[in-house]
Structures are given as structure tokens and as C-alpha cells.
Structure 1
Amino acid sequence: MSHQVYLADRPQHFTVQPGETVLQAGLRHHLALPFGCQSGGCASCRVRLTQGEVEYPFPPPALSDAEIQAGYILMCLARPKTDLIIALHQPPMLDALRPRQLPCRVQHRRWLAHDVLGLSLKLPRGADFRWLPGQYLDILLDDGRRRSFSIANAPGGELLELHVRVTPGGRFAHWAAHEMPQRAILRFEGPLGAFYLREDSARPILMVAGGTGIAPIHAMLEDVLGRSGFTRPLHLFWGARTQRDLYLHERLLHWAAAHAHFDYTPVLSEADAPWPGEKGLVHEAVLRRHPDLHGFEAYLSGPPAMVRAGKSALLAAGLDADHLFYDSFDYAFETWPTLG
């Protein structure tokens, strides 16, 4: 039988037909719902279930036990067993930022690190493409698949900046680095995802990035550090293997020197030279500096193993699940399918 889903913070509601997930039904009703991999791996569609009961085809891989106990579900996997009330916890302005498909031109291509390629994509004139810092886009590939990349710069110009890690098995990344023609035309869909800074809070902010997980964090920082009225304490921990992997190190040091409310701590797991800073796993460095996380807000971005370990450790240290946000760069789903 069908069930009704009501939005706790909105006037809308919609019907889920038998066999549909909450996400499929919401998008069928043209609601602006956050989503990503549709496989339970990225948690872009995480929402709080305030009333009702759902079932899954398998346990939701992106949710920790603490998140499940706090009432969170993944809309891409959840099927209602009863009528539901869900809380999106997203700003109303997100309704106006519905994903769109647009062309773009590759304006610049440069190496940011030995295995990270920076791409600057020029938007069409008059496109009025807007996004929240931290969101991502999907490059639409010729075979119908997609490749997801965080937008690494804050809104306000005609360029989108991407950080592309070039790995042996990365088809798009290898093509972009070695075969893509100058000024190539690409197509993308965006903005996507629910990873963005929540500004309805006064809590101090922890940002934890691993590798190219710095990209969406960089966009957030570029946005808020450029505002004179934003004074919430910010502490960024960026984990990398070696010093050469810290490809934004000098810029972040400059920002930390220029803004009294911003701290930056790089963490190396495999320091290959004398290194006076933090070593080991990045979430362990966070807890050495902040052992009690009651009253904090945290944003995690990077490889899935880092995000999983970081979520568990931070929640165990007192972080409230309602103030935990993350973007898992899950290589198990390198390309996303079309919705459906």
C-alpha cells in the first residue's frame, strides 16, 4: 500500500507508492531533496525520521549506530512501512537551487600536486548558476554515467574550480589530465548534495578533511573568511600522507595568520621528512586538541575510511549527531547511475 510522507519543517507532503524509496517518490513529486550515489554510500540524502517506520533492503552503510539511534535514515534506501514525518534540516533557499544540466568550457588546467589536477570550468554567459559552498556537481560522461566532484570555490564568479585526483583506475581523471583537448566542452549537473555550512548556529566549528576532501572545505572557508561579520571559531584539520600532498598549505597558513578565529592544523600519516607538526590519523589529532566535543559542530570530508573513523570517534567524544555533517568520497561508486 502507499504511504504519505510529511515534511516537518515544510508545508509539503507526498505519496510513496509500493516499491518506491522515499527519495524516488519525493523527486517524482518535484521536491528539492538532497541525494548523491543512491546506493547508501555517501549519506547525501540523510534526514531525521521524527515519526513512522521504514525498512531497508540491507543495513544503510553510510550511517553509524549513533546516527541510527538519533533517528536518521537514508532516503535512497528507505521504504515506508507507515506514514512518515521527516525533517530535512536544510535552508529554504535550497529549494531554489534545484539541480540543472549545463554546458561548461574548460578554461584552465593545472597540476595542484603530483596527483591532483585543478580544473577551472567557465559557465555559460547568463547561466546564473548558484550553489552553496560545499556542494558538488556531476560531470556527465558520454556513456551515460557520471563522475562527482566537489566545487572547490565559493560562489560569486563565472568559474567553477574542481580538484581531480588522478589515479591509475580513474578513467575521467586520466582523460582530463592527459587527453582532454584545450578548452574542451563538458556537461554537468548540479548543484548536488547536502554538505554546506549551517549558519543557524553559534557553535565552534571543526572541519576535518582528508586528501582532496579539502575541496568543499576550501569553498566554505573562502566564503566565510571573506565576510567581516562571520566570527564563529573555526579549526581545520587536514590529513595527508606527506608534505607534498598538502597542496593548499601556504594558502591555509596565510588565512590562519590573517583571521584570529581560524586555526589550521595539517596532519601527516607518512611524514617523509622532519615534520614538527601533527602525525598519524587526522581524527586522532582532532581529539588530542579537542578531547571533549560537547557543544561543537563538525564537518568531515574525504575518503570513506577516514569519514567512518572520524564519525565514530567524534560522536564518542560527545559530538551531537545533529551537528555532524560529512561528505564521503566513496570510490566504490566512482560513477553514479541515472536516478531510477
Structure 2
Amino acid sequence: MSEIVCKVDSISPLTSEVYKVALIPPSPVEFKAGQYVLVHMGEKDQRPFSIANPATDNNRIELHIGADPENTYAGEVLARMQEDGEIALSGGHGEAYLQPNGMPMVLIAGGTGFSYTYSILQQHLAGDSSIPLTLYWGGRHAEDLYLADELRALAEKHDNFSFIPVVEFAHDDWQGRTGWVHHAVMADHADFSHLQVYVAGRFEMARTVREDFTVRGLNKKNLFGDAFAFI
């Protein structure tokens, strides 16, 4: 896949440690909702980041990059973008893209894995499908769910979309679900045989989702996530 040099249009904070990056390619980039790009830091140093915008909006590339002080892997990418004003990448990559088959869909995101599910969600809502889609987004704290208000507004607008935020360490004023995000999904679904599941987050979470959900009837052909190419 050929290399594309994109202009860095903007880098803006979503939280104290997560940044929204808007890139402008020289021409539209062909990709499928749920795929990722590889940022080319060197000939043998290519770093994956999920595309956050839908495939219907391919004149730009939006990334959500988590770069806490200990995450030099992502921090170096942000620094390169800020210093050079452009970045080389390739995409779309990955086989865990949106593949509707008529079943209700469950999207599960941990942290900035949300960007993967956000692309799929927007693509789904841009069509005329009535297939129900539920997004479970888990974070350590409520403020980590940086687009929660926008997602609640989307859920009010679209009858086929439900948003369930899950916070691991909740403040006393938190009114939503608490604990681990995949436990919230299991509390709502005893049988996964009729569902498609898309998951993005730490490998440990993806592995646990696969183990726990297949016990409850999930067919592995209806489970999607880039992590499963490695675990």
C-alpha cells in the first residue's frame, strides 16, 4: 500500500492526555469504517492508529491519540506532527471493519479504542439501516469519556442507537454504570448467539471478551477486533 503524506490541519485536546488530530490527505483515502492507518515514523517503524471518521467522509483522516507522559510510542508521533506539520502514513489496514449481516450490533470500547467504534457508529448512522446498534464505552473516570455528551445526543436522535457509558472509578455523583465495560455488556445479554460484536481496547480486554462471550453463544465469525490478529 502506497505511502501518503498528509498535512496536519489541527491537533486539539480532548482530555489532558488525549488529542484529536485532523489530517488532510492530498486526495480522498479509500478505507472501510473500522480500519486503521499506519503512521510511518521510519522505514521499519510504522505505528497503527484507528481512523475515527466514517468512510463516507474520506477527504480527511481523524485520529484520537492518547499520549500520557509515559506513552512515548504515541507521544513521539504527536511531536513529529507538531514539528513537521505533515505526516506520512498508509491505510486503510485491518480486517475488523464494519460488516453488517442483519444482526443487532454491540460495539465495545476501552479508552481511546473508542475511535475505532466511533468510525463504525457514524458509518452505520449515515445509512438507512434500522439494525440496532449499542455502544458500550468504558473509561477509568467519567472525564475519560470525552464525547459522551455528543453520543447521548446521537442516541436521542436515532432510534436504532443506544449509548451506555461505563466508569471504573466513579465519583459519588456518577449516575451511570460502573465497573468493567465487558461486565456491563454481559449484564445486559445472557445470550450472544444473535449478535455481532466489535471490540477495541487493550489486548487483555479483547481476550476476555472472546472467552466470556463465546461461552454465552457468540459465534467467533461475528466477533471483530484488530487485537484478534495477534491473540
Cα 1:271/1:174, change in 2 over 3 Å: same
3-state DSSP of counterpart to 2:75: helix
Cα 1:278/1:329, change in 2 over 3 Å: farther
TM-align CA RMSD: 2.0
- CA distance in structure 2 between the aligned counterparts of 1:204 and 1:222, rounded to whole angstroms: 16
CA contact (8 A) 1:105 1:185 kept: yes
- Corresponding residue for 1:185? 86
Per-residue deviation, 1:166: 0.4
Matched residue type, 1:139 = V
- TM-score, normalised to structure 1's length? 0.64
Cα 1:181/1:234, change in 2 over 3 Å: closer
- Corresponding residue for 1:212? 112
- Corresponding residue for 1:265? 164
CA contact (8 A) 1:211 1:302 kept: yes
Q: Does 1:166 align with 2:40?
A: no
What do the CA deviations read for 1:14-50 (whole angstroms, capped 9, x no partner)? xxxxxxxxxxxxxxxxxxxxxxxxxxxxxxxxxxxxx
Equivalent in 79, 87, 98 of residue 197 of structure 1:
98
Stretches of 4+ moved more than 6 A in 1? Answer: none
Q: Unaligned stretches of 5+ in structure 1?
A: 1-98, 333-340
- CA distance in structure 2 between the aligned counterparts of 1:179 and 1:325, rounded to whole angstroms: 31
Matched residue type, 2:39 = I
CA contact (8 A) 1:205 1:235 kept: yes
CA contact (8 A) 2:28 2:58 kept: no
- CA distance in structure 2 between the aligned counterparts of 1:268 and 1:169, rounded to whole angstroms: 22
Matched residue type, 1:108 = S
3-state DSSP of counterpart to 2:150: helix
Matched residue type, 2:22 = S
Matched residue type, 1:308 = R
3-state DSSP of counterpart to 1:194: coil
Percent of residue pairs bearing the same amino acid type: 30
- TM-score, normalised to structure 2's length? 0.92
Matched residue type, 2:99 = R
3-state DSSP of counterpart to 1:148: strand
Q: Does 1:120 align with 2:22?
A: yes
- CA distance in structure 2 between the aligned counterparts of 1:258 and 1:211, rounded to whole angstroms: 24
Per-residue deviation, 1:245: 0.1
Answer 1 or 2: which has greater helix percent.
Answer: 2
- Corresponding residue for 2:142? 243
Equivalent in 24, 32, 36 of residue 132 of structure 1:
32
Q: Unaligned stretches of 5+ in structure 2?
A: none
- CA distance in structure 2 between the aligned counterparts of 1:149 and 1:187, rounded to whole angstroms: 13
- Corresponding residue for 2:177? 278
Map residues 30-45 of structure 1 onto 2, 5 A cutoff: none
- CA distance in structure 2 between the aligned counterparts of 1:225 and 1:276, rounded to whole angstroms: 27
Equivalent in 181, 189, 192 of residue 293 of structure 1:
192
